[in-house]
């Protein structure tokens, strides 16, 4: 550890806080040895369903130096999205992360500002920003950097703030001080496994993505298989059950990012309103939202599946 590296590390972490990130952890950019067999096993068991893109770039996914030339550090960042208000209880459910403006835009913007800050304050540093993008194993990097542990539901979680946050990375060619992983605090708890409506958590730490409601309502382009009829627990976009039941999420605190606030009408809507939703209302309540990625046709397909 040299003093200049420590100074740069401190500067970056302080700036990430100023930009509104919950926390920042840093790892050396290197091959993710522990992840390789896990990812291979998961793909071989076809737990990615139709998410074929998961099979691509296997090497790049495990080794950031293959993704970004000359990279030295992976800077992982968390951004809280836990809302202060939730939907009407008489409504079909929408995952909390999708209430407001699409996080890809919000976070990309913050990452750009962070990279610009690094370039202004430190010098000629180059790198790339990633937000929930297929080639980076963001949970593994965040865990390696001490931002939390990967729970039995396969999300990253922390004792202090639970798990309702986005994970993003800057991969840069600057040597920094590196953080160490934290310990696992799931203990004997099995709340997420027991509560999963589709039994997608097939064993602790292994989620069969092809059974997960998030996959069924967002990723799957075909019709939702009839085996899941009456099992998707009124979720019309994503699913928060395994996070909602997690005891560590009692420590979640509301975010302070105005762009993540939902359109006021969205929280009021009841099942009846969703059943009758028009494309105009869709465009209004989901203006700039990640829900637009499924398009009006995708959301109405999901609603129809719940209703019929």
Q: Which residues are catalytic?
A: 132
**Binding site for cob(II)alamin: residue ranges?**
61, 132, 156, 167, 214, 239-240
Q: Report how far residue 20's alpha carbon sits from residue 167's, in angstroms, rounded to the nearest whole number.
A: 13
- Note whether 150 and 51 are within 8 A (CB): no
**Choice between 67 and 239, CB closer to ligand SF4:** 239
Report, in Å, the least distance between residue 157 CB and ligand SF4.
6
Strands 93-94 and 235-237: parallel
Applying CB under 6 A, which of residues 239, 291, 299, 306 lies at the interface with ligand SF4? 239
Check binding of 242 to ligand SF4 (CB under 6 A): yes
- Minimum Å gap between C-beta 92 and ligand SF4 is 14
Binding residue numbers: 61, 132, 156, 167, 186, 189, 192, 196, 212, 214, 221, 239-240, 242, 246
In the complex with ligand SF4, which residue's Cβ is closer, 201 or 291? Answer: 201
State the minimum distance, in angstroms, from the CB of residue 218 to ligand SF4.
Answer: 11
User: Between residues 64 and 162, which has the closer beta carbon with respect to ligand SF4?
Assistant: 162
Sign of CA dihedral 149, 152, 154, 155: negative
Binding mask 139-168 for ligand SF4 (x = CB under 6 A): ------------xxx---x-----------
Q: Which of residues 167-226 bind ligand SF4 (CB under 6 A)?
A: 186, 189-192, 196-198, 200-201, 207, 212-214
Shortest distance (Å) from residue 3 CB to ligand SF4: 39
Q: Measured from the CB atom, is 25 or 148 closer to ligand SF4? A: 148
Residues belonging to the binding site for tRNA are 221
Give the residue at shortest CB distance from ligand SF4. Answer: 151
* CB of residue 158 to ligand SF4, shortest distance in Å: 11
C-alpha–C-alpha distance, residues 148 and 158, integer Å: 5
Q: Which is nearer to ligand SF4, 79 or 186 (CB)?
A: 186
- What are the tokens at 166? 């986005």
What is the contact surface with ligand SF4 in residues (CB under 6 A)? 151-153, 157, 186, 189-192, 196-198, 200-201, 207, 212-214, 239, 241-242, 245-248
């Amino acid at each position: 550890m040299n003093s200049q590296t420590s100074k740069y590390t401190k500067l970056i972490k302080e700036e990430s806080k100023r930009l509104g990130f919950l926390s920042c952890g840093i790892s050396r950019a290197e091959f993710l040895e522990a992840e390789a067999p896990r990812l291979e096993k998961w793909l071989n068991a076809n737990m990615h369903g139709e998410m074929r893109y998961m099979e691509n770039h296997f090497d790049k996914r495990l080794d950031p130096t293959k993704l970004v030339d000359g990279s030295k550090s992976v800077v992982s960042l968390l951004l809280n999205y836990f809302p202060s208000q939730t939907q009407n209880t008489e409504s079909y459910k929408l995952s909390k992360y999708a209430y407001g403006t699409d996080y890809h835009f919000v976070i990309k913007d913050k990452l750009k500002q962070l990279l610009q800050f690094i370039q202004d304050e430190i010098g000629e540093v180059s790198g790339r920003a990633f937000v929930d993008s297929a080639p980076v194993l963001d949970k593994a990097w965040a865990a390696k950097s001490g931002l939390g542990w990967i729970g039995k539901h396969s999300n990253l979680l922390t004792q202090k703030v639970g798990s309702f946050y986005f994970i993003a990375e800057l991969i840069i060619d600057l040597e920094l001080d590196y953080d160490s992983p934290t310990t696992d605090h799931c203990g004997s708890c099995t709340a997420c496994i027991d509560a999963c409506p589709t039994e997608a958590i097939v064993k602790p730490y292994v989620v069969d993505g092809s059974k997960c409601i998030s996959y069924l309502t967002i990723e799957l382009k075909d019709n939702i298989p009839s085996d899941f009829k009456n099992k998707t627990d009124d979720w019309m976009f994503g699913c928060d059950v395994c996070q909602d039941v997690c005891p560590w999420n009692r420590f979640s605190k509301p975010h302070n990012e105005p762009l993540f606030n939902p359109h006021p009408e969205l929280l009021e809507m009841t099942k009846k309103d969703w059943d009758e939703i028009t494309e105009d209302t869709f465009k209004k309540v989901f203006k700039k939202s990640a829900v637009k990625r499924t398009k009006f046709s995708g959301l109405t397909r999901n609603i129809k599946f719940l209703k019929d």
